[in-house]
Chain A
Amino acid sequence: MHDFFVYAVVMMAVAYLVRAVPFTLFRRKVKNRFVRSFLYYIPYAVLTAMTVPAAWYATSSLAVSTCGLGVAAILAYRGRGLVTVSLAACAGAFVMMLLLRLAG
């Protein structure tokens, strides 16, 4: 384990450079189709890999997580916005938690 500030500076430097350098230097489109496709798919691959399966273990119970994520998935699939889907994930999980407590 290193000093917190070493970690913090590394995170900041990467987060900044990865955005600012291409944005500052590029004034034309990437021509290479393979590179473009790879870059295009990266966000979806990253976000999915971070969610599956980790999100199921984010709460204290699989049933609670599943309910929240299910509600979020349905709303997201119907094209609802960021805030709505996030709140719905929490609300869905909360309802399941209450149900489990009532049942148990």
Chain B
Amino acid sequence: MKDRRSEWLDGVKQGIPIACGYFFVSFTFGILGASLGFRWWESVLISMTNLTSAGQVAGVRTISAGGSIAELALSQLIINLRYSLMGISLSQNTDDDFVGAKRAVLGFGITDEIYAVAVNRPKPVSSWFFLGLMFLPYFGWTLGTLAGALFGGVLPSSVTDVMTLAIYGMFIAIVLPKTKLEKGVRVVALLAAAVSCLLYFTPVLSRIPVGFAIIICAVVAALAGAWFLPVPEIGGDGDA
């Protein structure tokens, strides 16, 4: 069908910049994994089955620190919880055919960036568009991890040292523009930073495993934000 083809191609096209960014960021994930003692195929397997920057970084840290399964599962749940909201939000902007099994399969491709592009699409999101959209970023993410895990070691340490900041640059690029626009996000981010520093620098509290520390920060800050600065009531078709 001509329609499917054009939808798929439209998605692929819009996925190109995401794929480039993912290659670069996952390259540093590959380096991180190698530096924590993961074999190259272990890092690649994690990237292929998770497709999430923040969760993977916290995950390999928790694993290499010998964390418990409960800590890993709970921290992954909290860190990746935002995808639940994105899935719910995105479900408002899909076409009538993009339901059931298609959602169950393609839902795997919801990431911060893929969601952002899909939800801002003026037309309803079809399953073919979404499949096209996640196509190149998935390979970018996988191949970047592979390259980082295999070749990160041959780069000068000065280069790999500064490249570890790439992933944080991505986080900053997502959060900071929002803090400028919304008081709620500004307050939540400041609170999360404050609690995080408290846990990090206080002698006894710094023994809390990193996965749990992130949970505590995120839940405290998001609860406070939801309580004191709730988002506006639903009106019209605005995003969530």
Contacts and interface: CB of A to CB of B under 8 A. Distances in A.
A51 B166 CA distance: 11
Contacts, number: 306
Given A24-B100, A89-B165, A76 B172 contact: yes
B80 to A, nearest CB: 5
Given A42-B85, A49-B195, A97-B162, A37 B168 contact: no
A55 B168 contact: yes
Interface string A52-66: 111100111000110
Interface size class of chain B, counting residues whose CB lies under 8 Å from the partner chain: 35 or more
B14 interface: no
Interface string A25-50: 01101110111111111111111111
Nearest to A18: B80
Contacts of B200: 53-54
Interface string B30-59: 000000000000100110011110111111
Nearest to B23: A83
B71 to A, nearest CB: 10
Interface size class of chain A, counting residues whose CB lies under 8 Å from the partner chain: 35 or more
A76 B233 contact: no
B103 A20 contact: yes
Contacts of B221: 41, 45, 48-49
B24 A83 contact: yes
Interface string B206-235: 000000011001110111011101110110
Contacts of B84: 18-19, 21-22, 39
Interface of B: 17-18, 20-21, 24-25, 42, 45-46, 49-52, 54-59, 63, 66, 69, 72-73, 76-88, 90-92, 99-100, 103-105, 107-108, 110, 112-113, 158-159, 161-180, 184-185, 188-189, 191-193, 195-197, 200-201, 213-214, 217-219, 221-223, 225-227, 229-231, 233-234, 240
